[in-house]
Amino acid sequence: MAKKKGGDLKAFYGVLGVAAVIAVGALLWSTRGGGLSSAATGPIASIVLGELDDLAALVEMATGIERGDPNAPITILEFGDFQCPSCQQFATFVKPSIDSELIDTKIARFVFHDFPLSGHAHAFIAARAARCALDQGDQYFWPFHDQLFAHQPTWSLSAGPPMSEFAGYAATLGLDVDEFSDCLDSDRHADVISANIRLGTELGVNGTPTIFVSKGDGRSVRVSRWSEFEAIKSVVDRMMEEDAGDEN
């Protein structure tokens, strides 16, 4: 099940040690689609570039999408970009093993944070599209996530924002297409995605996918070999073994 917010990740984010402020009121939208579209297609500069002095406010806004048992002892976090070919590789070849061996077995939960890269013209609106799907029910986010990656070679080459392609994926999954399109052709979720970008930047994310494995006490490891399931699992196993040793 996908969740907008699950268990408390503040211990993990607290290792940043940053002092921050995020101006949550009176937000300005930095980019919209061309023509008659009112769709937000880029991040909010006041969030992404603004000065920060309250980490808690940033974490509160930068909600990730969860999958799995919120009480699982391990958390696997991805900062990802729907237009990133490496993220497609991760989603296609690595994440299914994470789901079956770690998430479904309640060893870990998975949290996806949007980190659309500035060099990918449609990554930001793709992130908004996935969250527009989520608006119609938790059960729609991950199937839409999978549709975006499965069809990435098509929509990523669109000359303009691929609104009709995204609406087609929504229809395939049984969403209310009018409701989905109204959401997509708006500002909705631009603030959350922008906060995700800022949070990733504060965590040192500079490319996608970036994978962290963490424990509830704030211990965390950035996994450089993200393309290898065994590399991720070995970090999880090590953390579990450390806990078992502490209990003896």
Backbone phi, psi, residue 214, to 5°: -140, 160
Give the pLDDT band (50/70/90) at residue 137: very high
53: which DSSP letter?
Answer: -
pLDDT above 70 coverage of the chain, percent: 83
**Number of separate domains in the chain:** 1
Between 230 and 13, residue with greater pLDDT: 230
Reported pTM: 0.88
Cβ-based burial of 134 (10 A; exposed 0-12, middle 13-18, buried ≥19): buried
3-class DSSP state of 222: strand
Residue 125 vs residues 8, 33, 43, 52, 139: alpha-carbon distances, Å:
28, 9, 9, 25, 20
Tell me the residue range of the domain where 136 lies: 2-247
Q: Taking Cα atoms as reference points, which of 105, 112, 114 lies closest to residue 73?
A: 105
Report whether pLDDT(26) > 50. no
CATH number at residue 74: 3.40.30.10
Average pLDDT on 173-199 reads 97
- State the pLDDT at residue 104: 98
Give the pLDDT band (50/70/90) at residue 247: low
